[in-house]
Structure 1
């Protein structure tokens, strides 16, 4: 039927566009030497995206402190790169252990405005789940403002349970146990991240006309 054909095309187009967007970029872990480009990414966030990411107003100096803490502490960061530029980041912050409670961690996401709505957050979330399961983290939490529709959809995709806590929404996701395959996947990603970061640093040291050749 004509109506059915149009419906299929309408649903397929966004999926195809998301796959093309993801193929255009590169996802890898951030390493300590990436602190500067992480901060540059945070500073490029428009005011609304910055507010949604941190749940309030954040000065540039506060972003600098956050970048230093995140890159030097026990957090794990995954970045989405386009032509060597960091455009989105997913952060995994382990939470203090509580007796009788499963190990937990909080996930947070920042995506620059031109790259929002392209399925990048979902791909980064899958990488965070891999890191969480390999560290025995059973409860992966996502905290966001009630009007942050993108984060709510991302949590829904992961079958999260929701609760309202101090005017914030908290999504809880159960992660699967680690397997030899999941550990191997992360190990391969770690090796790739080190070599990719070193290559990007070398390229940024070249004069602009010589980059990308």
Structure 2
């Protein structure tokens, strides 16, 4: 493992420190999704507009096609990642699809990445964060290449790939991006485990806060009802 550079006596951190601080300063809780989240995944995808569905799936997917995709997700083989807001709504999700074994002859082990972000949650870098997390998950499982197949007009997706250092090849209306992943390390496994644990803690806290707000709202509603005369007896 590469050792961090020695301090030069200045108060400012070294570049490797800056990278760590920047990553955690912009940290986003990303959870692994399972079968129990299938309905939330379906609802998230069905809420996408016509244009967003076209960019996500590469064709104008109908409700039936979107539902079939959601119901067909293989949680045993693939990895599905999600970001929840304070209302516990799934606002962004990524599908890391592992190529079925055996891998193609002469090709390195690889996985395909796809992502969708709700319109109200855009501009926060959720797509890039999901890509980073998916890359970390993939490298820790021996995957050598992360693959993206997208429409050439899907500028946000291709920008994420290029920013990560992927090689993008355009072929008319479609583009392919390939990102070679570094080997896994102890640090990469610890980093993924820590992020997974913190995401679970974040989700649990959000759930407790939602429950508390529901109780407070219920008490407030009863109090208002009594104050409006709901608890008065019949007039004499």
Structure with the higher fraction of residues in helix conformation = 1
8 Å Cα contact 1:30-1:193 kept in structure 2 = no
TM-score for the superposition, normalised by structure 1: 0.77
Higher radius of gyration, 1 or 2: 2
- Which protein has greater RCO, CA pairs closer than 8 Å, 6+ apart? 1
| 1:181 to partner: Cα distance | 2.0
8 Å Cα contact 2:34-2:75 kept in structure 1 = no
Identify the match of residue 56 of structure 2 among 53, 56, 64. 53
8 Å Cα contact 1:31-1:193 kept in structure 2 = no
The secondary structure found in structure 1 opposite 2:72 is helix
CA RMSD of aligned residues (A): 3.0
Distance 1:199 1:36 in 2: 22
How many pairs were matched up? 191
| 1:141 to partner: Cα distance | 0.7
Distance 2:80 2:216 in 1: 26
8 Å Cα contact 1:31-1:197 kept in structure 2 = no
Identify the match of residue 35 of structure 2 among 21, 32, 36. 32
Aligned CA distance change for structure 1 residues 203 and 61 (closer, same or farther; 3 Å): farther
| 1:208 to partner: Cα distance | 8.5
Instruction: Extract unaligned runs of 5+ from structure 1.
Output: 1-18
8 Å Cα contact 1:79-1:89 kept in structure 2 = yes
Aligned CA distance change for structure 1 residues 51 and 30 (closer, same or farther; 3 Å): same
| 1:70 to partner: Cα distance | 1.8
**Other-structure match for 1:8:** none
**Other-structure match for 2:94:** 90
Aligned CA distance change for structure 1 residues 71 and 133 (closer, same or farther; 3 Å): same
8 Å Cα contact 2:158-2:168 kept in structure 1 = no
Please give the per-residue CA displacement for 1:170-200, whole angstroms capped at 9, x wherever unaligned.
Answer: 0000111111222223334445566766787
Distance 2:203 2:74 in 1: 14
| 1:86 to partner: Cα distance | 0.6
Instruction: Extract unaligned runs of 5+ from structure 2.
Output: 1-22, 219-236
**Other-structure match for 1:162:** 168
Aligned CA distance change for structure 1 residues 128 and 72 (closer, same or farther; 3 Å): closer
Please give the per-residue CA displacement for 1:67-96, whole angstroms capped at 9, x wherever unaligned.
Answer: 122253411011111111110111100114
The secondary structure found in structure 2 opposite 1:26 is coil
Aligned CA distance change for structure 1 residues 92 and 36 (closer, same or farther; 3 Å): same
Aligned CA distance change for structure 1 residues 140 and 163 (closer, same or farther; 3 Å): same
Distance 1:166 1:137 in 2: 28
Aligned CA distance change for structure 1 residues 210 and 47 (closer, same or farther; 3 Å): farther
TM-score for the superposition, normalised by structure 2: 0.70
Distance 2:63 2:79 in 1: 22
